[in-house]
Amino acid sequence: MSQKDQQSIKPVAELIPAGCSVCGVRQYGICKALRSADLFRFANSTRRRKVAHGETITFEEDEVVDYANIVSGSVKLTKLLSDGRQQIVGLQFAPEFIGRPFSENVTVSAEAATDVELCVFPKTEFEKMLREQPDFEHQLLEQTLVNLDDARTWMVTLGRKTAQEKVASFLLLLASHIGKSKEENTGHKLFSLPLKRADIADFLGLTIETVSRQMTKLRKTGVISVERNLEITLHDARLLKQLAGDD
């Protein structure tokens, strides 16, 4: 075999399903633990699902039939209280995993906080892959523990921080997960609020008026700028960390 022929042959490890090759989060989510053959097998059972802003992905207490990775967008998690009210208990972003493996019923409702794209896989195939592929199971466990650490950190935010610190912490959360560089070498981050002011207030345990006042203060000090109440530009991440009580 000539050297040219040898160079034209790709190693098997480089061969991946076409859909996976263009997935922007594959290298960061649980699928990165799968080898080529397993990825092809897993991809045969997956499907892409687009969910419009405001639509429900799963309802609390529904039977679990599939799980999903977030490919793009933001997801709001809620719990239904006995009097019919809903409490926002978390936000999820790409490439996080939606679902609780080996559960019979959904434990929290999931709603598209923005337009969302999901990679959905059947419960049976996913749980079978977990049992057969220790690296895949390990990757899911690692991601779950990171989410647990984040949840504990957020408990401190809700339980101990001031209104200013809560709003600043919320903006830092968004900037770290969905913020995009606005201008090269400036460090400015641009992102859209995935929640309405009322939902932000609910999530932070504040009133809508308090959230609005704190956002106005941040804008007047030049930490952020706001366009149409949705588009946020973070100008000074270091100062925002100080205001969040994290520096």
Instruction: Please report, for the domain that includes residue 187, its CATH number.
Output: 1.10.10.10
Domain count across the chain: 2
Give residue 165's pLDDT: 96
Domain stop point among 156, 182, 210: 156
152 and 179 inside one domain: no
Neighbouring C-beta atoms of residue 54, cutoff 10 Å:
11
pTM for the full model? 0.86
Same domain, 167 and 140: no
Considering 133, 156, 179, which residue would you say is the last residue of a domain? 156
Question: Are 206 and 138 members of one domain?
Answer: no
> Same domain for 148 and 167?
no
- Residue of 68, 118, 120 whose CA lies nearest to 98: 68
Looking at the structure, do residues 145 and 166 belong to the same domain, yes or no? no
**Closest among 157, 164, 214, 225 to 191, alpha carbons compared:** 225
Instruction: Give the residue from 127, 156, 185 where a domain finishes.
Output: 156
Q: 1 falls in which pLDDT band (50, 70, 90)?
A: very low
pLDDT in tens, 159-212: 999 999 999 999 999 999 999 987 666 678 999 999 999 999 999 999 999 999
Domain that holds residue 172: 162-243
